[in-house]
Amino acid sequence: MNGARRLAGATVVLAVLAIPPWLLTTLTRAHLPGWPTSTQLRDWLTDPLTPATLTTGLIAVAWLLWLGMTYTVTVTAARRLRAGARWVRHLPLPTPWQAAATSIAGAAALTTAHTPTTHPPNPPTPVTADELQHPSDTPQTERGGVVVPGGWLPDDTAHHIAAAAALVWLRRRRAHQPGQPDTNATQLTPLPATITAVQAVIADQPPPPTATTGAMQAPLPPAGIRLAGDGADHAARGLLVTRLLTALRDPTDTTPVIITSNTLTRLLPSVAETVATIPGLHVIDTLEHAAVLLPASRTSSTADRRIPSLVMTAGPATAAPPDLPGARVVTLDAGAPLPTWRVDRHGHTVDHQTGQPRPRMCVLDGTAAADLLAVLAQPATEVLDPAASVPARPVDRAQAKIPRQSSRVTPPTPRQPTETTATAIRLRVLGRPALHIDSNEVTIRRSAALQILVFLAVHPDGATTTQLVQALWPGLPAHTVTGRLYTTLSDLRSTIRATTADPMVVHTEGRYHLDPRADVDLWRLQAAAHHSATTDAPGSWQAVIDAYTGDLAAGHTWPWIDPPREATRRLALDAHTTAAAAQTDPHERLRLLQAAIRIDPYNQQLHQLAADQLNALGDSAAAADLLHTHRQRLRLAGILDQPMITAR
């Protein structure tokens, strides 16, 4: 019945479209002999209302009505065709298992006799949104883990790596000495690419509820295991990194990993010289030396509650020493008499004896493992001697200036707006980022677009397409997300164009950059700091204090943001410290130091200077409370593993 109605409707539509032009052509042919001549036009201008002109006008109106009707029918048909195409494109398709089951059922139907039933078939299982997603959108995430260049990490391990990266920046903030020349260029060095890739993946993910302390996620047999297969070395590196995270979270466990020197050389030749700075990693020559280290970890009454130590070896073929209680031996030796687990390069594990699958293991290649170990290493130069704290040095108030830092970038010279570009465009990146045009805040719909604005503010010389892609989506091949960048930039430009004709993001000579005529608060701060570092004008540091209104992109955890955020914070700390050193009023000096502590409550030198000032004012109790609060904050952050400053 539906088919008959549709056929009748299509016939009527075709008749309506075909019959009117046929009738008009047949009946009006005599009234439209051709295009009018000049004589006919002059006659029409002289006497327009003649029977011939009225007939011609009616014929023209009839043709226009037919054309309007044809346009309406064509547009309606096109819309229905597009809707049908979208329906076909999103039509749920059967999964491979369903296709296989259908084939088997069809074969059974052809080879066996059966009684036909009238039950309708089950609808196919619809494809989920994750299955329809483009592969380049989320290539780093898998169920229960995170894919990084060179390996796979369980979710809890990835979150512990991100926490370890945050501790690196807290230790750097603690060790910085405001007001002193920056002689250690590594203090602002970005973390390795594998770390930023992990941070990018889990930036918006809550920690898994089952996260423990970074322990080995695969339960090992009491006697240990032998790893074999293509992913054996990768799994060994994963166990090493995962177990060392326990030492970071639980410093009381002093012997988490013992590894023979030949195994370390095989797995991580690039870090053999820096193992002394990795907490909890002990390198031995032979397995017999492991027994000397293990008793220290068994003397505590809480030894039974500790995670067993990990002993790693690669050979030669020897039986595991029998006197290693409280340890799990993991060996790569093909002749070791231990249960064997075969591991592929993706971490999938099978018990070689029983053929049963085992929990998926963290797997890392040499580069990825070295990158992750970089966040666990603690440079020896980081520890500050309390007696070596630099006191407030005498400063000539007339020539006080902020010391020049090697990491500072000279900001671009702002250009005055011309008559044709009088729109006031202000970008605020200190504190909560916001774009204002003529005092009205512009709503940035895409988070990536806001990130691009802040990134270009940090890099006034601009950035290439590759640099932007690598910053926004680290760990992904650039060619897979370049289209996403262009879409984000197009949307950002459309948003700005709806408010002003002046461009905000300009593309010249293969680089994207902000319009130098824009008012960017970060540029004003950098200009004030540059002026203070290169001039003897008294009080020039006050302009830096006034220009700093908050952390760079406060509240955002973008993987690339930590180095420029810390560099910007240090501009304000240097300004406050220099201003305090130039003060003759002790109360004003203390106020400036306290303001600096509010900017960075983790800095050790600031707390020592403020405590010294409180002691000088006769308030030793307040000095002790200040240092105690600082010590408690470091303990809560997990970096109270170094000598602390004390009241003097």
Q: What is the pLDDT of residue 17?
A: 77
Domain boundaries defined on the chain: 1-29+51-83, 146-382, 401-415+423-581
Instruction: Please name the amino acid found at residue 488.
Output: T
The 10s digit of each residue's pLDDT in 158-185 is 988 998 899 999 999 999 999 887 767 6
Q: Computed over its alpha carbons, how large is the radius of gyration of the chain?
A: 36
Q: What is the pLDDT of residue 457?
A: 96
Q: What is the pLDDT of residue 138?
A: 39
- Whether 390 contacts 267, CB under 8 Å: no
The 10s digit of each residue's pLDDT in 523-574 is 999 999 998 888 777 678 899 999 999 999 999 999 999 999 999 999 999 9
Fold classification of 401-415+423-581 (topology level):
Arc Repressor Mutant, subunit A (1.10.10)
Show the low-confidence residues of the chain (pLDDT under 70): 1-3, 28-36, 40, 43-44, 47, 83-143, 183, 185, 204, 207-218, 247, 249-255, 272-274, 276, 295-307, 316-323, 378-423, 538, 641-648
- Whether 214 contacts 156, CB under 8 Å: yes
Ramachandran angles phi, psi of 215, nearest 5°: -75, 175
Residue 352, classed as helix, strand or coil, is coil
Tokens of 437: 């045009």
Tell how far CA 354 is from the center of its chain. Answer: 41
Cβ count within 10 A of residue 101: 12
- Whether 390 contacts 180, CB under 8 Å: yes
Strand ranges in 299-352 using DSSP code E only, listed in sequence order: 309-313, 327-331, 340-343, 349-351
Instruction: Please name the amino acid found at residue 322.
Output: P
Q: What is the pLDDT of residue 560?
A: 94
Read off the pTM.
0.70
